[in-house]
Amino acid sequence: MTVEAAALDKATLGLHPLEQYEPLIGQAAARRIFKKADQVRDAHVIHVNSTFYGGGVAEILTPLTLMMNALGIETGWRQIQGTPAFFSCTKKLHNTLQGERVELTAAEKAVYEQVVFENATRLHLAGCDAVVIHDPQPLPLVEHFADRKMPWLWQCHIDLSTPNPAAWNYLRGFVDSYDAAIFSLPEYAQDLDIVQLFFTPAINPFSAKNADLSESEIDECLMRHRIPTNRPLVTQISRFDRWKDPMGVIEAFRKARQSVDCTLVLVGNSATDDPEGDIILETIKASIDERVIVLTVDDPVLVNALQRRAAVVLQKSTREGFGLTVTEAMWKGAAVIGGNVGGIRRQITDGEDGFLVDSVDQTAERIVQLLEDPGLRQRLGTRARETVREKFLMSRLLEDWLDLLAGYRPP
């Protein structure tokens, strides 16, 4: 069977085959990854997080788990269940890890730990070779498997550059029970007694959100969602989260409109484990006008079409562990303006394949500059796509995991 036929066969089965990536990464890289997969082909891995939908973790685990299964590595994905009070606590923890100065009360800690304990009684892990826990929500699970024989790995996708000391000291009591911690960037490293590793996230270029679209398909999609195209489009696509600074985006857009004619489109969702999302959305809706469009539809093709058609794509985050929406837009050759924070600084080289900004005024200035200079938009977009091809495709993240798992296999 040819490589192309094997890829088609696996894709038909609903898997995400590595063979698809060979035209993008080259034959040598694909063969190298296949060889590494052979070393762990009999492994059984389980990932645990708090939601199958919404947010970057779900975006990563969907293709990653399919790719690993396509390679013959048994890979499961479990979700913990929680009450509204639990997710209110974990959202508070998320915010404190990103620097917010609030305290988790004793009662909130009790809710957090009790719900995780209840999940532990339902989580059966016998026979697996590695357990990967994602972010703070399921973090204390490790305490309830003291007789475990397999390695437990904690992957944190949050910007940990300046965590609230009290919150981090509390969570560190759980983190040090793991065999290793995985962060998105070296600057998120912490004072831990365990091994620390660094995996930058990546995207699936073949998903409905990222696959190629024709101009007619883009036109049809935008028309279906009643997005006008008679003026240049500026867009931000992200969860409705204050760390994404949607209000700053609206303010920058209004400043830019004083010099250039354009329309702003905000598309987002509220992750199922984020109770603040609806509040942020209502705040946004209360401040918009006829030139600001806010959509909450769950349509990956719309995201794709907007990122391809928009003259400017924004991700004006004030904290960002790693902005997958930045990488998605760069892959489509978009001109991207990102907040000069966290992982975005690793994705965008300022002035080379996008722009980094530190304020509303800078954002407005860059919007105007890009709208007035189509040649600049094209140059930045061309370089941006190559940056993603070299660094941020899912095949690279898969290889990171294969290397890690190989290190935990018995000789």
Q: For 283-309, what is each residue's pLDDT tens digit?
A: 888 878 889 999 998 899 999 999 999
**pLDDT over 90, % of the chain:** 79
pLDDT category at 411 given cuts 50, 70, 90 is: very low
Q: What gap in Å lies between CA 211 and CA 147, rounded to an integer? A: 45
Model-level pTM greater than 0.95? no
Tokens for 52? Answer: 């199958």
Question: Which candidate, 310, 314, 265, 267, places its Cα nearest to that of 292?
Answer: 265
**E strand residue ranges, 57-194:** 74-79, 130-134, 152-156, 180-183
Closest CA to 357 of 268, 267, 251: 251
Burial 73-112 (b: 16+ CB within 10 A, else e): bebebbbbebeeebbbbbbbbbbbbbbbeeebeeebeebb
Residue 30, both tokens: 């694909």
Is residue 209 in some structural domain?
no
d(CA 191, CA 82): 30
Do 236 and 287 fall within a single domain? yes
Same domain, 227 and 312: yes
Say if residues 381 and 352 touch (Cβ distance below 8 Å).
no
Report residue 378's pLDDT band, with 50, 70 and 90 as the boundaries: very high
> What is the span of the domain harbouring residue 116?
3-202+393-407
Q: Answer yes or no: is 19 within a domain.
A: yes
Token pair for residue 25?
A: 């990464």
324 within some domain: yes
DSSP 271-300: -TT-TTHHHHHHHHHTT--TTEEEE----H
**Is a pLDDT exceeding 80 seen at residue 5?**
no
Please tell me whether residues 27 and 12 are part of one structural domain.
yes
- Say whether both 137 and 235 belong to one domain: no
Q: Which residues pair with 44 in a beta bridge?
A: 74
Note whether 95 and 223 are same-domain residues: no
Residue 298 lies in a domain: yes
- The domain that holds 398 is classified in CATH as 3.40.50.2000
Q: For residue 210, is it within any domain?
A: no
Residue 192 contacts residue 181 (beta carbons within 8 Å): yes
At 272, is the pLDDT very low, low, confident or very high (cuts 50, 70, 90)? low
Question: Does residue 296 form part of some domain?
Answer: yes
Instruction: Please give the average per-residue pLDDT across 222-228, as a whole number.
Output: 96
Confidence of residue 88 (pLDDT cuts 50, 70, 90): very high
Q: Specify whether 383 is located in the same domain as 400.
A: no
Q: 384 and 402, same structural domain?
A: no
Residues 112-166 have pLDDT tens digits of 999 999 999 999 888 899 999 999 999 999 999 988 889 999 999 999 999 999 9
Q: Where does 341-403 show beta strands of DSSP type E?
A: 355-357
Q: Assess whether pLDDT exceeds 80 at residue 14.
A: no
Same-domain status, 197 and 225? no
| Residue given tokens 């600084």 in the structure block | 345
Q: Does residue 8 register a pLDDT over 60?
A: no
258 and 370 housed in the same domain: yes
pLDDT value at position 274? 64
Q: What percent of the chain has pLDDT over 70?
A: 94
Residue 347 in domain? yes
Strand ranges, E, within 80-122: none
Can you read off the two tokens belonging to residue 328? 């998605």
- Classify residue 208: in a domain, yes or no: no
Report which residue type is found at 138.
Answer: P
Q: Is the confidence at residue 374, as pLDDT, over 70?
A: yes
Cα→Cα distances 350→338, 382, 391, Å: 9, 14, 16
- Taking CA 119 as the corner, what is the angle to CA 115 and CA 123, rounded to the nearest 5 degrees? 170
pLDDT for 218 equals 98
- Which pLDDT does position 292 carry in this prediction? 95
What is the number of structural domains in the chain? 2
Q: Which one, of 43, 46, 47, 48, lies nearest residue 71 by Cα?
A: 43
Q: Could you tell me the end-to-end alpha-carbon distance of the chain, in angstroms, rounded to an integer?
A: 32
The answer to whether 323 and 313 are in contact (CB under 8 A) is no
What is the C-alpha separation between 112 and 272, in angstroms, rounded? 17
Q: Mark whether 100 and 234 lie in a shared domain.
A: no
Whether residues 397 and 385 share a domain: the answer is no
Mean pLDDT over all residues of the chain? 92
- My answer on whether 270 and 179 are in the same domain is no
Phi, psi at 54, each rounded to 5°: 90, 130
Query: For residue 408, what pLDDT band results from cuts at 50, 70 and 90?
Result: confident
